[in-house]
């Protein structure tokens, strides 16, 4: 059993003191996993703000809880990664982070929303204000002779999700990039409140479609530990195989886009064709090209017989061969290396300060892989060694993806040759403890997906918070592009390949 | 070496050896004939994601892979709405995306047609009751064709183009949107 015991590390603390603790935590090598606010006025007449810290020593997750009425001390100056969470809390709960350097609205655009609306407060009456301009949004400005701005989005060229990018340039190099996101804010957290755990899974699987399985696994880790459900060994194996399959098709597509963006259409299309084959395999296995509805509370929705396992085995072998060719090509072509190396460099220090996760962290020398840090399902038994590279540039991220395809292939091959017997799902009639809560973790193809779920006294969801890896990583791109030419931005963006849907929620 | 190997090894026909009723090629050939006729050999599409989970975008991007290769039938996704004939919309339409969507629509020269893609664009999907969703798209724009599915498979999107061509050819599109 690899469920992490959370209450073990639970500390309740005054907001004013927590700033000091955060400094100590950071000095001891811990990093901020996320901040979760909740309106618990119906339970203890306070709002709670929970800070989750992780460390690389395998010590699990530490939770610090601050109770407040209307404001709390900002820790953004100590942990820069807290900045976005605190802005989010200010927006959705109306709780003021004292001393925060930047309190511009994040998801509720002043162009559309009255600033008195805080939808995640339990007493929010659902009134939707008329659609009109209530205020403006002030972008950061770079002033000086010869400085000009390039504005891109929200509707981009090509088949991409919406986001607004503002480059300030002097000549070719980028002096500043400011990103404005949350165009696709769908209000998923509020939507899940009051739903039962099964209903919510349907919404959760559509947070970010290309990472549906891995995000659902994270949700199920939390939900099943609240409901005290222990799934069968066989279900765990199937979940891991599906998770790794999803990772492989994501990585294949990511590498293909890198080729596309440096003008190598042929190797790119080769990999796009491979992606299509992987998605057709998904369809053969589950009936859905994105493996939607494959997982269920208490197990999985379909079994894997030897024929299906053989199909998967053959496919991952094929992937390995094709990717090997691509790897060789990257390493042997100076025109590819010229575009990839030293482009979009994110320093280790920046990665640390922004609490990055996933590929972006591992390409910048940080040992962060949820599968090894906070093992779930059967990952703890696999003794995974996270692949770490030190370049921090587009090349490192591409090379890392390739290496991880081999790793995922190995995991799938190992598991499919010794699948345990048993049922694929257990019944789940148990009721959750009133106001019990749990967190769940998983490693998606982008990084750590984090869930916090609290049940109410009727067995429904009281508060659900999801932190997407993209939410953590997006700010880092603003540092990655500095000094690069604007023409390299699409490449840098693709090398991180973040989700807008997961970020905006 | 690797490029050479690719160039001579994999031809599109080898990768996508499909034939028979409903295959990409047969549908595509039919489509090409109609695109040639109705749109003078080029049909340009501008996509706006109004709040999807990105699965729809992944499938639309897949239309360019060697299995489907939509451009060989004369259909192209373009960067600017000013170049487009068709506005394709995915997603549940969030409040924040309403203005960009309408602005994009305004900037497409007439005659123009809307295709909505995916269940979210039709009904709002699982997100329809959210405070920050003001869709579905049909509240603001009339779609000539809707593609069902969550997300629709690439072949379904090709069929939707065929359907649109049929509607336009037969003049069944009663009122052209302004």
State the CATH number of the domain containing residue B143.
3.40.50.12280
Q: What distance in Å separates the CA atoms of residue A451 and residue A56, rounded to the nearest whole number?
A: 19
Among A155, A273, A329, the strongest candidate for a mutation testing the B interface, having the largest count of B CBs within 10 A, is A155
- B18: pLDDT strictly greater than 60: no
* A108 vs B contacts (CB less than 8 Å): 132
**According to the model, what pLDDT value does residue B22 have?**
58
Among A117, A118, A152, A159, the strongest candidate for a mutation testing the B interface, having the largest count of B CBs within 10 A, is A159
Whether residue A113 lies within 8 A of chain B, CB to CB, comes out as yes
pTM of the predicted protein model: 0.90
Split at pLDDT 50, 70, 90, the class of A481 is very high
- Structural domain boundaries, residue B121: 23-165
pLDDT tens digit sequence for B87-98: 999 999 999 999
Alpha-carbon torsion B157, B161, B162, B166, what sign?
A: positive
Nearest to B129 among A124, A191, A206 (CB): A191
Nearest in space to A185 (alpha carbons), one of B52, B61, B73, B150:
B52
Among A206, A214, A333, the strongest candidate for a mutation testing the B interface, having the largest count of B CBs within 10 A, is A206
**According to the model, what pLDDT value does residue A179 have?**
92
The domain defined by A7-136 carries CATH number 3.90.1150.10: no
pLDDT tens digit sequence for B111-126: 888 999 999 998 988 9
Q: What distance in Å separates the CA atoms of residue A258 and residue A247, rounded to the nearest whole number?
A: 17
Q: Do A185 and B91 touch (CB under 8 A)?
A: no
Split at pLDDT 50, 70, 90, the class of A5 is very low
Residue B10 lies in a domain: no
Whether residue B159 lies within 8 A of chain A, CB to CB, comes out as no
Whether residue B87 lies within 8 A of chain A, CB to CB, comes out as no
Residue B76 lies in a domain: yes
Q: How many structural domains comprise chain B?
A: 1
Split at pLDDT 50, 70, 90, the class of A419 is confident
pLDDT tens digit sequence for A95-126: 999 999 989 998 888 888 888 888 998 888 77
Whether residue B94 lies within 8 A of chain A, CB to CB, comes out as yes
Q: pLDDT > 90: what percent of chain A?
A: 41
User: If contacts are CB pairs under 8 Å, which of residues 46-75 in chain A contact chain B?
Assistant: none
Q: Once rounded to an integer, what is the mean pLDDT over residues B141-166?
A: 86
Q: What distance in Å separates the CA atoms of residue A76 and residue A99, rounded to the nearest whole number?
A: 8
Residue B136 lies in a domain: yes
Helices (H), A159-232: 188-192, 197-204, 212-226
Residue B82 lies in a domain: yes
Residue B170 lies in a domain: no
Residue B161 lies in a domain: yes
Please name the CATH architecture into which domain A205-466 falls. Answer: Orthogonal Bundle (1.10)
What does DSSP assign to residue A488?
Answer: G
Three-state DSSP at A53 gives strand
Number of neighbours of residue A384 by Cβ within 10 angstroms:
16
Split at pLDDT 50, 70, 90, the class of B39 is confident
What does DSSP assign to residue B109?
Answer: P
Q: Do A273 and B79 touch (CB under 8 A)?
A: no
Q: What distance in Å separates the CA atoms of residue B32 and residue B26, rounded to the nearest whole number?
A: 10
Q: What distance in Å separates the CA atoms of residue B149 and residue A280, rounded to the nearest whole number?
A: 16
Instruction: Report the gap between the CA of A450 and the closest CA in chain B (Å).
Output: 18
* B71 vs A contacts (CB less than 8 Å): none
Whether residue A109 lies within 8 A of chain B, CB to CB, comes out as yes
Of the two residues A85 and B19, the one the predictor is more confident about is A85
Nearest in space to A474 (alpha carbons), one of A77, A177, A57:
A177
Whether residue B4 lies within 8 A of chain A, CB to CB, comes out as no
Whether residue A186 lies within 8 A of chain B, CB to CB, comes out as yes
Q: Start-end ranges of CATH 1.10.645.10 in chain A?
A: 205-466
């Amino acid at each position: 059993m690899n469920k992490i015991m959370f209450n073990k590390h639970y500390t309740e603390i005054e907001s004013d003191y927590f700033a000091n603790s955060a400094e100590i935590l950071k000095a001891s090598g811990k990093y901020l996993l996320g901040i979760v606010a909740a309106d618990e006025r119906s339970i203890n007449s306070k709002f709670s703000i929970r800070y989750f810290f992780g460390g690389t020593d395998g010590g699990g997750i530490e939770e610090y809880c601050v109770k407040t009425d209307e404001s709390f001390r900002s820790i953004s100056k100590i942990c820069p990664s807290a900045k976005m969470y605190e802005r989010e809390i200010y927006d959705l709960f109306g709780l003021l982070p004292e001393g925060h350097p930047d309190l511009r609205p994040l998801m509720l655009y002043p162009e559309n929303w009255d600033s008195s609306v805080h939808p995640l407060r339990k007493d929010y009456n659902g009134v939707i204000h008329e659609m009109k301009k209530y205020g403006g949004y002030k972008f950061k400005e770079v002033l000086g002779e010869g400085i000009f701005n390039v504005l891109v989005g929200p509707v981009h060229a090509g088949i991409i999700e919406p986001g607004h990018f503002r480059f300030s340039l002097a000549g070719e190099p980028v002096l500043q990039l400011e990103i404005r996101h949350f165009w696709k804010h769908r209000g998923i957290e509020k939507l899940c409140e009051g739903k039962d755990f099964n209903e919510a899974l349907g919404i959760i699987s559509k947070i970010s479609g290309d990472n549906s399985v891995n995000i659902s696994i994270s949700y199920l880790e939390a939900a099943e530990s609240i409901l005290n459900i222990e799934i069968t060994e066989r279900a765990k194996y199937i979940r891991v195989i599906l998770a790794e399959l999803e990772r492989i098709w994501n990585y294949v597509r990511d590498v293909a886009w890198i080729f596309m963006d440096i003008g190598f259409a042929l190797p790119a299309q080769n990999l796009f064709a491979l992606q299509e084959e992987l998605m057709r395999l998904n369809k053969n296995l589950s009936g859905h090209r994105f493996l939607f509805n494959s997982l269920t509370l208490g197990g999985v929705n379909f079994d894997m017989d030897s024929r299906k396992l053989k199909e998967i085995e053959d496919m991952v072998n094929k992937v390995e061969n094709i990717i090997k060719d691509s790897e060789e090509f990257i390493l042997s072509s100076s025109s590819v290396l010229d575009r990839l190396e030293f482009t979009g460099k994110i320093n280790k220090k920046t990665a640390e300060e922004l609490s990055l996760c996933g590929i972006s962290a591992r390409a910048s020398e940080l040992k962060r892989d949820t599968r090894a840090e906070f093992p779930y399902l059967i990952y703890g038994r696999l003794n995974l060694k996270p692949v770490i590279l030190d370049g921090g540039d587009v090349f490192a991220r591409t090379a890392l993806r390739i290496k991880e395809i081999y790793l995922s292939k190995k995991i799938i091959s190992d598991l499919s040759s010794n699948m345990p017997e048993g049922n694929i799902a257990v019944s789940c009639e148990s009721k959750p403890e009133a106001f019990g809560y749990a967190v769940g973790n998983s490693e998606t193809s982008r990084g750590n997906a984090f869930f916090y779920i609290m049940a109410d006294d009727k067995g429904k969801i009281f508060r659900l918070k999801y932190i997407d890896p993209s939410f953590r990583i997006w700010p880092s791109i603003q540092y990655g592009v500095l000094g690069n030419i604007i023409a390299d931005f699409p490449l840098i963006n693709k090398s991180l390949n973040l989700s807008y849907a997961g970020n905006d929620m | 070496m690797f490029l050479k190997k690719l160039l001579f090894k994999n031809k599109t026909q080898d990768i996508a050896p499909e034939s028979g009723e409903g295959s990409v090629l047969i549908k595509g050939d039919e489509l090409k004939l109609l695109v040639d006729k109705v749109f003078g050999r080029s049909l340009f599409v501008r996509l706006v994601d109004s709040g999807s989970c990105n699965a729809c975008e992944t499938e639309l991007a897949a239309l360019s892979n060697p299995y489907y290769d939509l451009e060989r039938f004369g259909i192209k996704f373009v960067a600017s709405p000013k170049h487009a004939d068709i506005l394709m919309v995915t997603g549940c339409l969030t409040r924040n995306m309403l203005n960009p969507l309408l602005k994009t629509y305004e900037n497409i020269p007439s005659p123009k047609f809307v295709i909505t893609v995916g269940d979210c664009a039709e009904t709002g999907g699982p997100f329809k009751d959210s405070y920050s969703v003001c869709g579905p798209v049909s509240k603001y724009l009339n779609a000539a064709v809707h593609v069902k599915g969550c997300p629709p498979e690439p072949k379904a999107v090709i069929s939707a183009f065929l359907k649109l061509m049929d509607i336009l050819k037969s003049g069944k599109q009663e009122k052209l949107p302004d």
